[in-house]
């Protein structure tokens, strides 16, 4: 194969915690990310390819996500189809990353299927994941329905690929994306007054600007009694703060590194110098500081759950948040919440994408390795994604283009809808376009860079630093982190 794998350094593995030996384990992989021992058993002549590994038990480690909740609640169809048992372990993301690192260090692959977060699993551990093209090209397995081409192209690259390689390490599994969520009933009620006072059409859309968003929020603060505040934000000193700020950063023409879109889409070990001290980034930070200053005061303690609950509870009239909160919104405020792409800035609009893929440990061996592919194939299939979308356990949103084309899914994009996440389809469809999708850097050392940024942003929001100082300090810290990441 032509894929070039990058083995994480011992330093990077130690940074995750307790996994320094993983580099040695990864060093035993072949160029295709595959162990040399315990080959997959050959199929029986004339046998059902889905039943090829019946009686095998495999393990899947995942973050607590909507698709996994839906699958875990209804594993019987997979068991009946394949005869395979699957144990699912769900953890918060940081605990998952630590478990994956330790699993690699052990060299025995406790987990066959891995929820491969692009930034904390895929980028640092690409060498520890199998190239899924190996399975898709093998006629002894059931075909990958629709092929790789059926997945939304930006999502396949962002969640499944790394660097200059053509290898596909994961299939798109979930696709949370930040969009503008707003109280449609209040915007309709006050539309004429807002438009007269503000001098522009306040209807949320990607044509509105962030400055207009600010003015709408300020107007609601002063004129609307039904909610205490116009806007809320996930501005806690947490990964959520980076996610919320990034939408503004990109819209103002700022970025984390040169060629930021490509760094986010395909990833790299060497992103170059940090650009957060650019005039555009500083302007974005100063605007974000002003925006949060008029938002609900709870914003400084909210992550995505906090701001999602605040919108559902009637504490704010609008907020940027992950689109999969639509199901919560519809349960709490049926028919009252609308969805639009995020506002634009001087450089356009950007909608933060937070999707993840699932892949196979390159150290999974024998029948477990083949069974893992059957699960990855099944879990991301159109039929399973449709079932997840309908699930009362949560569901998630499809990552396959063919699912969106189904008549029943198309019908669910308007109310009344039995698939409430599909009410966001128009907004996220725009958000996933290549020139609108917002992608944080896919680099092995991203976790530390993320912490450096949201720490400095939090100091800025607390009034301890001006925007320029916060961005300059974040830049210096991130440059140091990236430099250390280059050391073997």
Residue by residue, pLDDT tens for the chain (488 residues) are 333 333 334 334 334 333 333 444 444 443 344 444 578 888 877 789 999 999 999 999 999 888 999 999 999 999 999 999 999 999 998 899 999 988 877 776 899 999 999 999 999 999 999 999 999 999 999 999 999 999 999 999 999 999 999 999 999 999 999 999 999 999 999 999 999 999 999 999 999 999 999 999 999 999 999 999 999 999 999 999 999 999 999 999 999 999 999 999 999 999 999 999 999 999 999 999 999 999 999 999 999 999 999 999 999 999 999 999 998 999 999 999 999 999 999 999 999 999 999 999 999 999 999 999 999 999 999 999 999 998 877 667 999 999 999 999 999 999 999 899 999 999 999 999 988 999 999 999 999 999 999 999 999 999 999 999 999 999 999 999 999 973 33
79 and 158 share a domain? yes
Among candidate residues 68, 141, 100, the one with its CA nearest the CA of residue 356:
68
What the block records as the tokens of 321 is 């948040």
The reported pLDDT for the residue numbered 37 is 52
CB 437 within 8 A of CB 450: no
224 and 130 share a domain? no
The reported pLDDT for the residue numbered 119 is 94
Rounded to the nearest 10 degrees, how much is the dihedral formed by the CA atoms of 312, 388, 93, 426?
A: -60
165 and 150 share a domain? yes
Tokens 């009034």 belong to which residue? 463
Query: Is 305 within a domain?
Result: yes
The reported pLDDT for the residue numbered 316 is 98
Query: Is 3 within a domain?
Result: no
Query: Is 424 within a domain?
Result: no
- Reported as half-sphere exposure (CB side, CA atoms, 13 A), residue 171 has a value of 29
339 and 293 share a domain? yes
45 and 167 share a domain? yes
The reported pLDDT for the residue numbered 9 is 40
- By residue range, what is the domain housing residue 477? 178-352+437-485
CB 170 within 8 A of CB 160: yes
The reported pLDDT for the residue numbered 10 is 34
The reported pLDDT for the residue numbered 394 is 66
Write the DSSP string, 13-42: HHHHSS-TTHHHHHTT--TTS--SSSPPPP
Count: domains in the chain: 2
Among candidate residues 459, 395, 446, the one with its CA nearest the CA of residue 174:
395
129 and 38 share a domain? yes
101 and 244 share a domain? no
394 and 334 share a domain? no
73 and 150 share a domain? yes
The reported pLDDT for the residue numbered 66 is 87
Asked, as a colleague might, if the bond just before 416 is cis with ω within 30 of 0, I would say yes
């Amino acid at each position: 194969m032509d894929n070039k794998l990058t083995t994480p350094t011992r330093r990077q593995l130690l940074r995750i915690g307790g996994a320094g030996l993983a580099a040695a384990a990864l060093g035993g992989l072949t160029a295709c990310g595959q162990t040399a021992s315990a080959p997959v058993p050959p199929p029986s002549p004339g046998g059902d390819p889905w039943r090829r590994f019946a009686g095998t038990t495999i393990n899947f480690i995942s973050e607590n996500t909507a698709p996994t909740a839906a699958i875990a609640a209804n594993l019987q169809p997979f068991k009946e189809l394949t005869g395979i048992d699957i144990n699912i372990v769900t953890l918060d993301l940081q605990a998952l990353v630590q478990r994956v690192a330790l699993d690699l260090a052990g060299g025995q692959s406790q987990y066959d299927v891995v929820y491969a977060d692009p930034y904390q699993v895929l980028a640092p551990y690409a060498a520890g994941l199998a190239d899924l093209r190996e399975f898709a090209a093998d006629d002894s397995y059931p075909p990958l329905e629709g092929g790789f081409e059926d997945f939304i192209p930006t999502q396949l690259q962002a969640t499944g690929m790394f660097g200059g390689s053509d290898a596909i390490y994961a299939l798109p599994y979930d696709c949370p994306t930040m969009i503008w969520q707003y109280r449609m009933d209040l915007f309709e009620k006050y539309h004429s007054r807002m438009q007269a006072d503000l001098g522009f059409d306040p209807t949320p859309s990607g044509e509105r600007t962030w400055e207009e968003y600010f003015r709408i929020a300020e107007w609601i603060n002063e004129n609307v009694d039904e909610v205490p505040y116009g806007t809320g934000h996930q501005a806690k000193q947490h990964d959520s703060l980076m996610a919320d700020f990034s939408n503004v950063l990109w819209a103002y023409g700022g970025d984390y590194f040169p060629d930021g879109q490509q760094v986010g889409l395909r990833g790299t070990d060497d992103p170059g110098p940090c650009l957060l001290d650019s005039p555009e980034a500083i302007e974005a930070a100063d605007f974000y500081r002003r925006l949060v200053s008029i938002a609900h005061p709870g914003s400084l303690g909210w992550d995505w759950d906090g701001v999602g609950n605040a919108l559902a509870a009637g504490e704010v009239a609008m907020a940027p948040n992950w689109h999969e909160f639509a199901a919560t919104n519809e349960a709490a405020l049926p028919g009252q919440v609308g969805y639009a792409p995020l506002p634009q800035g001087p450089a356009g609009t950007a909608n933060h994408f937070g999707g993840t893929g699932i892949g196979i440990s390159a150290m999974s061996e024998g029948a477990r390795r083949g069974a893992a592919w059957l699960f990855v194939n099944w879990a991301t299939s159109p039929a399973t994604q449709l079932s997840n979308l309908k699930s009362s356990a949560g569901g998630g949103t499809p990552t396959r283009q063919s699912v969106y084309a189904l008549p029943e899914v198309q019908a669910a994009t308007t109310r009344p809808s039995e698939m409430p996440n599909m009410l966001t389809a128009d907004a996220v469809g725009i958000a996933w376009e290549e020139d609108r999708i917002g992608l944080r850097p896919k680099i092995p050392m991203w976790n530390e860079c993320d912490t450096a940024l949201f720490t400095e942003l939090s100091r800025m929001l607390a009034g301890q630093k001006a925007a320029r100082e916060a961005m300059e300090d974040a830049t210096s810290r991130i440059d140091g982190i990236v430099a250390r990441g280059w050391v073997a």
